[in-house]
Amino acid sequence: MARKGHESEVAFGSRTDIGCVRDHNEDSLCVAPPLFVVADGMGGHAAGEVASEIAVETISELAPPTLDADALCAAVEQANLAIIQAARQGRGRKGMGTTCTAAMVEGQRLIIAQVGDSRAYLLHEGKLSQLTRDHSYVAELIEAGEITREEARTHPRRSAITRALGSDPRTQPDLYDFSVSAGDRLLICSDGLTSMLRDDEISDIMNKADDPQRCASRLVSAAIAAGGLDNVTVIVVNITGNAPTERRRLARKSKITAAIVICALIAIIACASAAFATWTKQSAFLIAQDGKVALYRGVPGEFLGMQFSELDHVTDIEVDNLQPGLANRLKTEGVTTTWEDAEKLLADYEEQANEGQAKSEEDGQ
């Protein structure tokens, strides 16, 4: 599904399942963009689920509306105190607790507050990386170099965690602040997924299932198919970064650019029209009309039904008295010139016509 975040549209999917062995689900989750939370409760029936529910409810109420690492940390700390207080008041039972991985994502920033061994992963350019550090006994053994990650998967104390909400009022979450990119995918999950599937198996599913809801469902189904020894909870978030904001910015930029281009075209057309008008006023052409030479201001021809010339006057110069080549040109296409030179040409034509008429008269005698 997709919901509006504060800066971008967030696409996410989630699924939780009881698994194949447990008789109740101690996991809880929250999907309220920009906030996403997974909590894996512990403490037995009617206790683990109470702790995880209190954690999710408290964080949902107290989490900041926009990304603020300190405020998110404070919300997780208050969830810890709320679980301890609930146990004292008889809700759930003493000793109940829960892991908690709370993430907030907006734009190109991701913050995480984490306690326990519920993990956050990031899929970036097809490569999966674990973002959080497990607060568990086997994680400490791995860091000390005493066992491998593969050995940790079957270690008898693999479920023992070293930090949880509800156990100590002084418990503080680990805080993480990351830069992310459009196209990245965030995975938050309980250990019911990571205890059943290796990271390469998780990566393979996340790379193949583009839709976040389908991806979340496939991850849970794969964990169940691998044995489903624990409750399984998964949240998958497709990170869009600042893409929606960038699209809006580009749309505004395109509109501004289009307006500038249109204004420029109008200016160019106006300038061209003015230049054309000036040119036509300074132009002239001579043409035969009713056997005489006519003078037009402008240029011959028309465009889209518009003419760019007007008759100035028809002279008394007989076209047939001019030299044959000139007479034929005046009859067919005319003679184009400048307005300044037009009068000079007419004077030449008149002289030529007079000479032609005189010669005709001599030939006639």
pLDDT for the residue numbered 82: 97
The average confidence (pLDDT) of the chain is 86
pLDDT for the residue numbered 145: 87
- Are 186 and 239 contacting, i.e. CB atoms less than 8 angstroms apart? yes
- Are 162 and 140 contacting, i.e. CB atoms less than 8 angstroms apart? yes
pLDDT for the residue numbered 94: 87
Contacts 24+ apart (CB under 8 A), 206-210: 206/123, 206/128, 206/236, 207/123, 207/126
Any residues with CB less than 8 A from the CB of 172 and at least 6 apart, and which? 73, 77
Per-residue pLDDT of the chain (365 residues; tens, 9 = 90+): 433 334 446 799 999 999 999 889 999 999 999 999 999 999 766 689 999 999 999 999 999 999 999 999 999 999 999 999 999 998 988 889 999 999 999 999 999 999 999 999 999 999 999 999 999 888 888 888 888 887 777 787 877 889 999 989 999 999 999 999 999 999 999 999 999 999 999 999 999 999 999 999 999 999 999 999 999 999 999 998 775 555 555 567 677 777 788 888 888 877 766 776 676 677 887 888 888 888 888 777 776 767 777 888 888 888 788 888 777 887 788 778 888 887 887 888 777 778 767 776 666 65
DSSP codes of every residue in 115-174: ESS-EEEEEETTEEEE-S---BHHHHHHHTTSS-HHHHTT-TTTT-BS--BTS-TT---E
User: For the chain, what percentages of helix, strand and coil (3-state, to nearest 5) are there?
Assistant: 40, 30, 30
d(Cα 237, Cα 239) in Å, to the nearest integer? Answer: 6
Question: What residue type is assigned to position 129 of the chain?
Answer: S
d(Cα 52, Cα 72) in Å, to the nearest integer? Answer: 17
The whole-model pTM stands at: 0.67
